[in-house]
């Protein structure tokens, strides 16, 4: 899997997780229709399936995914919630993405 494919899969995975959590948040915090829980459950199932597509050990995938998730969550904050991330948000996301890159792309003796 190429670098761009891996990152793209992580981004799609993060979006599935965020949608799967955001829809119940709308139900619980903004009194939206309980029917939003159905696409939320489907989105979370999609999230779990997408995680299984990564070609490395599950624990390593989860650790690396966390860095990408932070970046995608900040993009969601800006694009969906309308709140621009702060400089510190961006620095923190950069540190997390650097950690993700070290975990995922380090040479392995396997």
What stretch of H or E contains 61? helix 58-79
In a domain, 44, yes or no: yes
Complete DSSP assignment for 20-58: HHHHHHHHHHH---GGGHHHHHHHHHHHHHHHTTSSS-H
pLDDT of res. 98: 92
In a domain, 84, yes or no: yes
CA distance linking residue 76 with residue 50, whole number of Å: 19
* Tens digits of residue pLDDT in 35-93: 999 999 999 999 999 988 987 778 888 888 888 899 999 999 999 999 999 999 999 99
89 within a domain of the structure (yes/no)? yes
In a domain, 110, yes or no: no
Total domains present in the chain:
1
Distance CA 3, CA 1 (A): 7
Structural domain span for residue 54: 3-105
pLDDT in tens, 89-100: 999 999 999 998
């Amino acid at each position: 899997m190429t670098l761009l494919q891996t990152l793209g899969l992580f981004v799609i995975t993060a979006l599935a997780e965020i949608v799967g959590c955001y829809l119940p948040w709308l139900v619980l915090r903004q009194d939206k229709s309980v029917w939003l829980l159905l696409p939320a459950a489907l989105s979370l199932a999609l999230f779990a399936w997408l995680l299984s597509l990564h070609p490395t050990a599950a624990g390593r995938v989860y650790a690396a995914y966390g860095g990408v998730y932070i970046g995608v969550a900040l993009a969601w904050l800006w694009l969906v919630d309308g709140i621009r991330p702060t400089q510190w948000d961006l620095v923190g996301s950069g540190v997390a993405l650097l950690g993700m890159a070290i975990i995922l792309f380090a040479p392995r003796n396997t």
